Amino acid sequence: DTEVTQTPKHLVMGMTNKKSLKCEQHMGHRAMYWYKQKAKKPPELMFVYSYEKLSINESVPSRFSPECPNSSLLNLHLHALQPEDSALYLCASSQRLMDLAKNIQYFGAGTRLSVL
């Protein structure tokens, strides 16, 4: 099983709303990632968690707030977003962050977010 599950698949929100994206994996992976993908572009790394601790924050605005409540779950809390934040948000996981051979990333299907 190499499945990473993301919910919801689609989300429409206003600029004053608060919403959350969820990601779940049951592969025993201890590294989890959030990426943002704009249309016709490659994914851009936002955050990396390793053993439930934030390891990398790629200078993402504070209106995006990640959370890793346990080793299987990763959330992305959204507040006061802008229309330019509309994108496909992808979650990924890998066995271990600091081990190149075990760092193959498996992606979820993504949440397509539209900010009005």
Partner 1 sequence: GDSVTQMEGPVTLSEEAFLTINCTYTATGYPSLFWYVQYPGEGLQLLLKATKADDKGSNKGFEATYRKETTSFHLEKGSVQVSDSAVYFCALIGNNNDMRFGAGTRLTVKP
What does the binding site for partner 1 look like in residue numbers (CB under 8 A)?
Answer: 2, 4, 6, 40-43, 45, 56, 88, 90, 92, 97-98, 100-101, 103-110, 112
- Whether residue 83 is preceded by a cis peptide bond, meaning omega within 30 degrees of 0, is no
Question: Please, what is the minimum distance in Å from the beta carbon of residue 20 to partner 1?
Answer: 18
Question: Is the CB of 18 or the CB of 38 nearer to partner 1?
Answer: 38
Question: Please, what is the minimum distance in Å from the beta carbon of residue 15 to partner 1?
Answer: 25
Beta bridge partners, 93, equal 32, 106
Question: Is the CB of 82 or the CB of 103 nearer to partner 1?
Answer: 103
Q: Using alpha carbons, select from 21, 80, 72, 83 the residue that is nearest to residue 46.
A: 21
Question: Please, what is the minimum distance in Å from the beta carbon of residue 50 to partner 1?
Answer: 9
Question: Is the CB of 17 or the CB of 50 nearer to partner 1?
Answer: 50
Could you tell me if 23 and 113 are in contact, meaning their C-beta atoms sit under 8 angstroms apart? no
Structure letter (DSSP) for residue 66: E
